Structure 1
Amino acid sequence: MVSFVHSSDLHLGKSFGTFPEDVRVRLQQARLESLTTLADIARTNGARHVLLAGDTFDKMTPAPKVIRGALNAMREAADVTWWVLPGNHDHVNATELWRTFTSDAPANVHALLRPEPVMLTDGVALLPAPPTERHPGRDLTDWFDDAATGDALRIGLAHGSIRGFSAEDGGASVLSFNRARDAGLAYLGLGDWHGQLQVSENTWYSGAPEADSFKHAMDPSALLVEVDGARVTVTPHPTSRLIWRASEVDLIGDEADLPLPPQDRARTLLKLTLTGRARPAVRRDLEAAFDHAAPDFLWAEAEFDGLDLVHETSDLDQIDRQGALRAAAEALVREADDQALSPEARATADAALSLLFTYAAEA
């Protein structure tokens, strides 16, 4: 029997340039700390190996501090053996990266830079398929079928897209769906898709240990893989230190509650999109509630542009009962409701009307 932890797509050194500096630092640190988490999962479950299926680094030229940080984290987990496959972001031809990595690597870290079998342990062969460029355009696992490994159990490790769905970064789908079967693999561990996915009984995308966007709904985890002869057991183990939550809220009537997570706010990135219709006072209360809660979160954003205003005479009275402001408000109502105008023009009128209500409330 052999057991190991399968993970991928750490993207160490990712810039997260759309976020404020303090948030970027937290996101980058969480990805580095995921190495410690993976080692803990292996150690707790009696696994001696961690297999990283590509894109350990976000780019071909990560800063020396990023490379050294990864190696130091692996060095500290000296009771775990690390097997690191290049991906399409950090492919084999990132020569300076892998020269530095291999020259500084401790004895428990192995870079899988060539498509040839290596012995994971006695009686267990690891077949790696390291990408040689960003989009190889061919199935780099095709050599698995005829690889000479004697009577050893065969484990495959590859990075790329499979099963006809789009790759994470738009690359071509080239890996064979049936590679594990055709090559006699006990398990095929894949990277590239950042969400966890079971392709077949013994072929899995591990997903990234930390999310990097709101794209995947499933909480990140790594896979504990246990192979006992023909029996393969795959068990997800949670890995994320940070939480990404995106919600779309469709408001009806006078609802005034936002779905704000009550717990773990300091480590949560929250994105709310509001749609539907609401009276100005309700929208104002929602915006105030969000503004009050936002500092509790690591990062929070709410999009109110899709929330249309319901215009009633009693609401206009809050602005003015007569005079120039009232006339302006009524004109904006007509524009916002005029289906002959473009959606952009109606939205502009709605936004201006919302500002009038805000000014009136603050007056």
Structure 2
Amino acid sequence: MSFRFIHTSDLHIGRRFANISEPADGNLRGRLMEARFDKIRQLANAAREHGAEHVLLAGDTFDSATPSRQVLRQALAAMRDALEVHWWLLPGNHDNLRNAEPVWDEIVKDAPENVHALRATDVVEIAPGVALLPCPVPVRTTGRDLTKDLPGIATPEGMLRIGLAHGGVVDFVESGEQIPPDRDRSAGLDYLALGDWHGRLQVTPRTQYSGTPEQDRFKHGVRGQCLAVTLAQSGAIPEVAAIETGSFLWSNIGLPLHEGEDTALTLAALLPTADRRNTLLRIKASGWTSLAGHAALGVAAERHAPEFALLDLISERVGTLHNVTDLDAIDQAGAMRLAAERLMAEAGNGALAEAERDIAAAALNRLYAYATEGAR
């Protein structure tokens, strides 16, 4: 027999993105929240397009144990709209059984017929000849392997065995669980669908993390994905295809600077040209440049930033090459010139602590930017 399903995890519906710097005239947080909610529709489309009738969500459907009633009800309604798809929801560490008990009670009580809450470890036959072995997370941090009982759970011979769990196999674990990397073999699983890690990761051909369908951090450098998994028969190697579902790209880029380089042009050459509106970009500058180079880099970042969902320039680690010409641009005499000379001396004083030198250099860069602002 052949069985195909969608493996996804870590949807985190309701996340507020309080750590994101909101542009003064933008609605980035609202767009990010809505993108996560829209993934329900995207996952349903992926299921339809790949001939799958089941979506297995390996934990953290909701970002917290107390999503608002509106968030919960609208999520269930969106799943109901895809009536031909069965949604199998596993409690994760964010929406664990203990803290989110009222949420799971309401799902069991009021969810549409195609939405299933996996609150117990009982085997569920989700399709003829297909056994789902869920491992719900009981509390936010258990400190134990929730898949440890899978080897002892029997199913009829020839039946496909699919494990569904939330936790870590390696040291990226967030919730405390440690799942052996050979659990698929020891439990005789045809596939182990994992959640908790927000990037795609193949542990073995039968044990995989789908990653989140909508990224939420500057870590993985690709848009969110889900996996279309096909099991041809019991014991066969799964066929796994990644499907891009993410609306936003979170990207970390390094910007090395060298003496004499035009920092504005170097930055411009580094920026992606496509889909800037849906790109969150963190640029970590390093190396050396002059006071004028620092100022030009900041101005260029401000000029390009409105084209992106977010452009965050981190330039604290860029060293400053000081020269008299730079000081002349601040002032050729008077109090500002004296202040600039003192800051330059402190920035280059090896007898001072590094933190003090960094503060002096940053203050000198700011003074230069203020003094030359009218000339730009």
TM-score class normalised by the smaller sequence: over 0.9
Partner of 1:315: 326
Alpha carbons 1:166, 1:173 under 8 Å: kept: no
Instruction: Say whether the 8 Å CA contact 2:221–2:249 is kept in structure 1.
Output: no
Residue 205 (1) aligns with residue 209 (2): yes
Task: Tell me the CA shift for residue 243 of structure 1.
Answer: 1.4
Counterpart residue type for residue 37 of structure 1: Q
Aligned-partner SS, 2:161: strand
Cα pair 2:146 2:177 within 8 Å, conserved? no
Q: 200, 210, 215: which one pairs with 2:219?
A: 215
Distance 1:100 1:324 in 2: 69
Amino acid in structure 1 at the alignment position of 2:43: L
Code of the residue aligned with 2:172 in structure 1: it is: S
- Shift of the alpha carbon at 1:147? 1.4
Residue in 1 aligned with 2:305? 294
Aligned residue number for residue 28 of structure 2: 23
Distance of 2:208 and 2:165 partners within structure 1: 10
Q: Classify the secondary structure of the residue corresponding to 2:298.
A: helix
Q: Secondary structure at the match of 2:330?
A: coil
Cα RMSD after superposing both structures: 1.5
The answer on 1:59 being equivalent to 2:64 is yes
Give 2:80's match in structure 1, choosing from 56, 72, 75.
75
Give the superposition deviation at 1:324: 3.6
Which one is further off, 293-302 or 67-76? 293-302
Q: Could you give the per-residue CA deviations for residues 55-101 of structure 1, whole angstroms, max 9, x where no partner exists?
A: 00111111011111211111111111111111111112221010111
Check if 1:265 corresponds to 2:239: no
For 1:169-188, list aligned pairs within 5 A. 169=174, 171-188=175-192
Secondary structure of 1:348 counterpart: helix
C-alpha contact 2:223 2:248 (8 A) present in aligned 1: no
Q: Which moved more, 1:307-316 or 1:6-15?
A: 307-316
Residue 277 of structure 1 aligns to which amino acid in structure 2? W
5 Å matches for 1:93-242?
93=98, 94-151=100-157, 152-162=159-169, 164-167=170-173, 169=174, 171-229=175-233, 230-242=236-248
- TM-superposed CA distance for 1:316, in Å, is 1.9
Superposed CA deviations along residues 118-145 of structure 1, whole A, max 9, x for unmatched, are 0120011111011111112222212221
Deviations 1:11-60 (A, max 9, x none): 11112112338222111111111111111111101111110000001111
Residue 344 of structure 1 corresponds to 355
Tell me the SS of whatever aligns to 2:178.
strand
Cα distance between partner residues in 2 of 1:64 and 1:173: 29
| AA matched with 2:74 | G
Residue in structure 2 matched with residue 325 of structure 1 by the alignment: 336
Tell me the matched-pair count: 360
Task: Give the match's secondary structure for 1:189.
Answer: strand
Amino acid at match of 1:118: V
Offset at residue 234 of structure 1 (A): 0.7
Partner letter of residue 32 of structure 2?
L
Is the Cα–Cα contact under 8 Å of residues 166 and 172 in structure 1 kept in the other structure? no
Residues 1:353 and 2:364 are matched in the alignment: yes
Task: Report the alpha carbon displacement of residue 328 of structure 1 after superposing the two structures with TM.
Answer: 2.5
Shift of 1:331: 1.8
| CA distance in structure 2 between the partners assigned to 1:82 and 1:233 by the alignment | 21
The 1-side partners of 2:292 and 2:104 are apart by 59
Range 320-329 or range 269-278, more displaced: 320-329
Structure 2: how far apart are the matches of 1:147 and 1:321? Answer: 82
Name the CA distance, whole Å, in 1 between partners of 2:143 and 2:326: 60
Q: What CA distance in whole angstroms lies between the structure 1 residues aligned with 2:81 and 2:223?
A: 26
Give aligned-pair identity as a percent.
43
Which residue of the other structure, out of 32, 44, 53, is the alignment partner of 1:48? 53
1:311-358: per-residue Cα shift (whole Å, max 9, x none)?
112222222334443333222211111111112211121122212322
TM-score, scaled relative to structure 2: 0.92
CA distance in 1, matches of 2:160, 2:299: 60
- Could you tell me how far apart the structure 2 residues matched to 1:57 and 1:324 are? 57
Question: Structure 1 pair 136/356, CA: closer, same or farther in 2 (3 Å)?
Answer: closer
Q: Is the 8 A contact 2:223 2:247 kept in 1?
A: no
- Distance change (3 Å), C-alpha of 1:232 and 1:362: closer
Q: CA deviation at 1:247?
A: 1.4
Give 1:308 shift.
1.7
Deviations 1:251-270 (CA, angstroms, capped at 9, x unpaired): 11223221222221111112
Residue 227 of structure 1, CA deviation: 0.5
Shift of 1:231: 3.1
**Conserved? CA contact 1:165–1:173, under 8 Å:** no
- Superposition misfits of 4+ residues, deviation over 6 angstroms: none
Query: Quick check: 291-300 or 77-86, which moved more?
Result: 291-300
Counterpart of 2:27 in structure 1: which amino acid? Answer: D
Q: Which runs of 5+ in 1 are unaligned?
A: none
Which ranges in structure 2 are unaligned for 5 or more consecutive residues?
none
How many Å separate the matches in 2 of 1:28 and 1:68? 15
Q: Tell me the TM-score normalised to structure 1 length.
A: 0.95
Q: Which moved more, 1:18-27 or 1:117-126?
A: 18-27
Is the contact made by 1:23 and 1:298 (CA closer than 8 Å) also made in structure 2?
yes
One-letter amino acid matched to 1:4: F
SS at match of 2:6: strand
